[in-house]
Every structure is written in C-alpha cells, then in structure tokens.
C-alpha cells in the first residue's frame, strides 16, 4: 500500500536520508528500526508531507503523494503520530481527539470514531474533559495514538512509541497495537528494537540514512547485525 | 473631554466639590475606554498567539477603518454604526491580503524579518493616508450617537462611548466563543499550540493563518468604526492606540485573549485615573509605569503561561 522509492531527504544542505526504498503491505505491522539520528523520524515526516524530499518518490495506494501538501495527506488515509506525542496540552482530551478527526466531515462518522477509540482506550473517555497535559506519559501516548486513529486512516505511522515510557507501559501500549492492527496497517519507527521486532511482520534496519538489512521480525532478531548493534549480544 | 483636565470639562462643573462623584465618573469613563482598548488588543494578541508575529501595522488598520467610517459618513451620509459591518469586513479583507501578500513570504524567515515587514507596512499605510487624505484632523460630528449623554445618578457618560464599549464587549466575547467553540476556532488553537502537529491533523495551517489575520483585522476594523464616533481621524490616529494595545497585550500575556481584555481595562482605568490625579499630560506615563511594574513582577504577563 505504501511504496517508497530511492528517497533522498535533507535539512538545508545536510542530507539525512540518502537512497532509501521500502514498502508496507496492507494489514502488516512494519517496523523501521535504527539508532538515534539514523533518519527514522525524518522518513515519517517526509511521508506525511511536513518535509519535502529532494529526490525519489512516495506512492500510497498507487498514487504519488510526495508532491501534495501535508494537510491533504491525512485525507488520503495516512495518519502520523509524531515523536514525543505532541498532544495539544492546553486542550481537553476530547478536543484533541476531535482535532484528530478534523478531515472527517460527517458528524455521525466522528461520533462513531470517537466511540471506537473510547472502546480501545477507556481511560480517555473517563477523562475526556480533562486537559491533555494532565495525563501521564503513557496516557498521553495512548491519546496520541487514539487521535491518530480519529482520522480513520488506512495507514497509521507511529514515531518512537516507547520514548519516555517505563518498560511496563511500553508493553501496555504495544498490546493496544495488537488490537488496532485488525483495523489499520501500522508503520512503527523505533529505537527499542527488541520490542517492536517481536510484534512486527516485517522490519527494516536503517543505519546512517541507508537500508542495512530487511526481513521478518524474527529473522532480524536472529541476524548478526541486529544482535551486535542493538541488542548487545 | 479626553484632552482636558477632567474637572475643567463642562460636564463636571455641576459636580465641583464632590470629589468622590468625580472619581466615579472617571472610573466609568476609564472602563468604557478599557473595553474598546480590549477589542483592539484582542486583534493584536490573536496574531501573536497563533503566529508569533507582532503586527506593527495594527494601528494603521485601525486608522484605515476610522477613515472608512469618515468617508462613508461624509460621502454617503452613512452613520458610523451602520458603516461598522463595512469597516469590519474591509479590514478583515485587508488582514487576509496582508497575510497573503507580505506575511506568508516572510513567516519562515529568520529573526526580525516579519517584524520589519509589518513595521514597513505601518509606515507605508500612514504615509499613504497622509498623501491621499492630508494630515488634517477630521471629525464625525453628528453621528446618531455623538453629543448625547446618559445620566446615571450624578455620573454623566457619552452615548457614543457606551455604544462603543457595549459593542466592544459583544465582539470580544464573540471572538472568544469563536476560538473556544467552533471547529475553525479549535483549529486556530491547535495551530497556535503546535503548527506541525496541526498539519498532521489535516489542518491547512496557511489557511488558518490567513483567517487569523482576517479575524484580527475584523476586531480592529470594528473598533475603528466605533472610535470614529468620538475621536479625531488623521493619518497617525491609529499609532497611539496600537502602542496602547502592545502594552495591554504584553501586560495580559502575549497571545492570551482574556489577558488582552483585562490589559485593556487596566489601561483604560490607568489612563483615566492617572490623567485626573496627575494631569492629562502624565496619563500615559501612568499607563507605562503600571506596565513596567507588571512585567517586573510577572514577566509573562498577568495571564501568560
């Protein structure tokens, strides 16, 4: 469903992603792992249109999307949960979720989407009138994911799900991914290699803006390059 | 009334010797002016809150609105209160065009570029007004509200000020509700809080910026039509009020609408009371003194976060 071909991205004159190709198949959980500064977040920002590539192309559902503005990419069915959660702290949880559904015109559909995410994350319904900044880190991550689901995406991209979360919370949030994967294809970008490769159907390892190795989650966990560089084995 | 010592005003001759009545009168005048300053300030704070830009041409938008009201009155005998929607819409459009023509090109430029651009626009508009309409003071003398007064006990207030204050309250509350309740208002809030994340929600942030500039213009456009009923109109007539608006915005906390409202009220009161107690030549000194004290104690302003 998502095809990235020979992508090149940079900030000013500094190239970050050199020549990266990968794809995401419908229904899969795909993980892109790599160390800090490997260009993972840059990659997601480019797919969601916040950054423009300097070369290569991005196709989604057979359509080129690297030339259209960021706000229109949401309508195409891609939702990006940004690094560090970036919830609207001064606004209520419900308002955050409704902003996630900004591109949805029908009120009925909005209500239904809200009901659906409240089912997955009951804590958010309990606290819907509270300001988002009052939530704990794990709850904010859940809110960010829920907000991402509110645009009814075909592809949900999550950047650094584990950032700043205690290990047991990471597991908890990962468990919710197993629930939502029935509805939506998931692209994860992570530094916590072990956890995401365990749930991923397919994974890519990025090093210095280039693809190092790809394979199923299990294959990657067994590979020397992952063992040495990320798992310290 | 504004330009003389309060007790010299003919309105007060019958009150002489009744100091506390005069104080009540002064406070009433201060509050009325405060609400109008608030409306001007709300426009200014909106742009800062959403885009982190100080619009130095804000006062000139006010001036253009006052001239619009003047010309509607002198050419078509249209009362400023009837011309108010025209002024509001016109300055809304000028605000949007300012964004599209100038701000959009400089918003991502470093440092002072956007600030200097609005400063340049301010100079341009002031001089254009002088070129087109001469530096002469103009007045709208016989609008439906001018010269009329209301007596509340021993307090006498001008109908034009009351109408302007009431309209300012209504419009300020309307802007607050718009930002707080509507879908577009929430998109404005989201853009103000985090532009890139707003983009990820599918919000067209450029459109939001244009709307914000327009909304800011609408506030000051409405204020201009209201003020034209009792203030002289000349090319620099907006400059003073934009300085006062900067003070009330900074005092209330940049980007905070409620802060701008209270900032405006404080300035209105400080100006009126200070002018009465120390003489009108010092009234702005009091305003700026209070401002300096507030930002020493609360550098982010009374409502700043």
Residue B192 within any structural domain of the chain: yes
Choose from B202, B211, B258 for mutation: most chain A CBs within 10 A. B202
Interface contact A70-B200, CB threshold 8 A: yes
pLDDT the model gives residue B13 = 52
pLDDT interval class at B283 (50, 70, 90): confident
Q: Are B233 and B135 in contact (CB under 8 A)?
A: no
Query: What is the rounded distance in angstroms from the CA atom of residue B31 to the CA atom of residue A51?
Result: 49
Averages of pLDDT over runs of 10 residues in chain A (233 residues) are 93 87 94 86 94 94 94 96 94 96 95 95 95 93 95 96 87 89 93 89 89 91 85 72
Query: What is the rounded distance in angstroms from the CA atom of residue B42 to the CA atom of residue B205?
Result: 20
Of the candidates B196, B201, B305, which has its C-beta nearest A99's C-beta? B201
pLDDT the model gives residue A18 = 87
ipTM of the complex: 0.91
Please tell me whether residue A187 adopts helix, strand or coil conformation. Answer: strand
Residue B41 within any structural domain of the chain: yes
pLDDT the model gives residue B3 = 47
Single out the residue of B35, B15, B66, B18 nearest to residue B272, CA to CA: B35
B158 HSE (CA, 13 A, CB side): 25
Q: Which residue of B has its CA nearest to A90?
A: B193
Cα-to-chain-centroid distance, residue B183:
26
Chain A CB contacts of B196 under 8 Å are 50, 82, 86
Burial of A210 (0-12, 13-18, 19+ CB in 10 A): middle
Interface contact A71-B189, CB threshold 8 A: no
Write the pLDDT tens digit of every residue in B145-192.
878 888 888 888 889 999 999 999 999 999 999 999 999 999 999 999
- What domain range is B209 assigned to? 24-107+115-128+143-236
Cα-to-chain-centroid distance, residue B70:
18
Interface contact A100-B189, CB threshold 8 A: no
Q: Is pLDDT at B9 greater than 60 in this prediction?
A: no
pLDDT the model gives residue B112 = 87
Interface contact A86-B204, CB threshold 8 A: no
For residues B196-208, give the mean pLDDT. Answer: 96
Of the candidates B193, B197, B205, which has its C-beta nearest A82's C-beta? B197
Chain A CB contacts of B199 under 8 Å are 48-50, 70-71
pLDDT interval class at B12 (50, 70, 90): low
Chain A CB contacts of B203 under 8 Å are 71, 99, 102
More confident residue, B79 or B9: B79
Chain B CB contacts of A52 under 8 Å are none
Interface contact A91-B200, CB threshold 8 A: no
Q: Is pLDDT at B236 greater than 60 in this prediction?
A: yes
Q: Are A186 and A180 in contact (CB under 8 A)?
A: yes
Interface contact B201-A95, CB threshold 8 A: no
Following CA atoms A74, A76, A79, A83 in sequence, which dihedral angle do they give, to the nearest 10 degrees? -70
pLDDT the model gives residue B1 = 45
The contact set of A with B (CB < 8 A) is: 48-50, 69-75, 79-80, 82, 86, 88-91, 95, 98-100, 102-103, 147, 151
Average pLDDT value over all residues in chain B: 90
For residues B274-303, give the mean pLDDT. Answer: 87
Please tell me whether residue A112 adopts helix, strand or coil conformation. Answer: helix
Of the candidates A50, A95, A102, which has its C-beta nearest B202's C-beta? A102
pLDDT the model gives residue B142 = 82
Which two structure tokens, joined as six digits, stand for B63? 């001036």
Q: Which residue of A has its CA nearest to B207?
A: A71
Q: Are B160 and B180 in contact (CB under 8 A)?
A: no
Total domains in the fold of chain B = 1
Superfamily of domain A2-231: P-loop containing nucleotide triphosphate hydrolases (3.40.50.300)
Of the candidates A71, A90, A95, which has its C-beta nearest B202's C-beta? A71
Please tell me whether residue A171 adopts helix, strand or coil conformation. Answer: helix
DSSP-derived letter for residue A204 is E
> Which conformational region is residue B110 in: left (phi greater than 0), alpha (psi within -120 to 50 degrees), or beta?
beta
pLDDT the model gives residue B253 = 87
DSSP-derived letter for residue A62 is T
More confident residue, B71 or B141: B71
Residue-range domain boundaries for chain A: 2-231
Query: What is the rounded distance in angstroms from the CA atom of residue A217 to the CA atom of residue B223?
Result: 64
For residues B62-66, give the mean pLDDT. Answer: 97
Residue B3 within any structural domain of the chain: no
């Amino acid at each position: 469903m998502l095809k990235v071909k020979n992508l090149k991205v940079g900030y000013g004159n500094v190239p970050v992603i050199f020549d990266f190709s990968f794809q995401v198949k419908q229904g899969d959980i795909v993980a892109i792992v790599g160390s800090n500064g490997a260009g993972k977040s840059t990659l997601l920002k480019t797919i969601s249109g916040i950054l423009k590539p300097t070369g290569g192309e991005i196709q989604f559902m057979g359509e080129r999307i690297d030339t259209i503005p960021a706000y229109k990419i949401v309508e195409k069915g891609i939702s990006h949960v940004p690094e560090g959660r970036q919830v609207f702290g001064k606004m209520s949880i419900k308002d955050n979720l409704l902003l996630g559904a900004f591109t949805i015109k029908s009120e009925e559909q909005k209500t239904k989407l809200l009901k659906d995410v409240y089912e997955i994350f009951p804590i958010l319904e309990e606290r819907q009138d509270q300001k988002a900044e009052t939530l704990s880190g794990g709850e904010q991550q859940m809110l960010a994911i829920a907000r991402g689901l509110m645009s009814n995406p075909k592809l949900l991209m999550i950047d650094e799900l584990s950032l700043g979360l205690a290990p047991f919370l990471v597991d908890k949030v990962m468990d919710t991914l197993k629930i939502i994967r029935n509805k939506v294809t998931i692209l994860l970008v992570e530094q916590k290699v072990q956890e995401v490769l365990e749930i991923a159907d397919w994974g890519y390892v990025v090093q210095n803006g280039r693809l190092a190795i790809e394979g199923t989650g299990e294959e990657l966990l067994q590979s020397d390059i992952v063992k040495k560089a990320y798992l310290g084995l | 009334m504004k330009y003389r010592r309060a007790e010299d005003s003919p309105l007060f001759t019958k009150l002489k010797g009744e100091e506390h009545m005069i104080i009540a009168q002064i406070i009433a005048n201060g509050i009325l002016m405060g609400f109008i300053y608030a409306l001007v300030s709300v426009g200014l704070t909106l742009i800062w809150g959403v885009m982190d830009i100080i619009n130095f041409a804000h006062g000139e938008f006010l001036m253009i609105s006052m001239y619009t009201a003047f010309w509607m009155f002198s050419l078509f005998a249209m009362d400023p209160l009837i011309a108010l929607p025209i002024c509001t819409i016109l300055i809304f459009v000028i605000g949007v065009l300012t964004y599209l023509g100038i701000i959009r090109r400089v918003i991502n430029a470093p440092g002072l570029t956007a600030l200097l651009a609005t400063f340049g626009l301010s100079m341009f508009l002031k001089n254009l007004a002088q070129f087109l309409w001469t530096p002469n003071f103009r007045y709208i003398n016989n609008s439906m509200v001018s010269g009329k007064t209301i007596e509340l006990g021993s307090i006498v207030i001008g109908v034009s000020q009351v109408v302007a204050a009431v309209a300012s309250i209504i419009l300020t509350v309307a802007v607050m509700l718009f930002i707080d309740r509507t879908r577009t208002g929430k998109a404005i809030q989201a853009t103000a809080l985090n532009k890139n994340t707003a983009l990820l929600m599918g919000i067209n942030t450029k459109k939001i910026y244009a709307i914000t500039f327009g909304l800011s213009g609408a506030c000051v456009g409405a204020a201009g039509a209201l003020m034209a009923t009792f203030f002289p109109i000349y090319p620099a007539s907006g400059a003073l009020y934009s300085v006062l608006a900067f003070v009330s915005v900074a005092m209330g906390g940049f980007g905070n609408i409620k802060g701008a409202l209270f900032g405006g009220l404080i300035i209105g009161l400080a100006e009126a009371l200070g002018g009465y107690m120390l003489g009108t030549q010092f009234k702005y000194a009091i305003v700026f003194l209070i401002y300096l004290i507030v930002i020493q104690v609360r550098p982010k302003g009374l409502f700043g976060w």
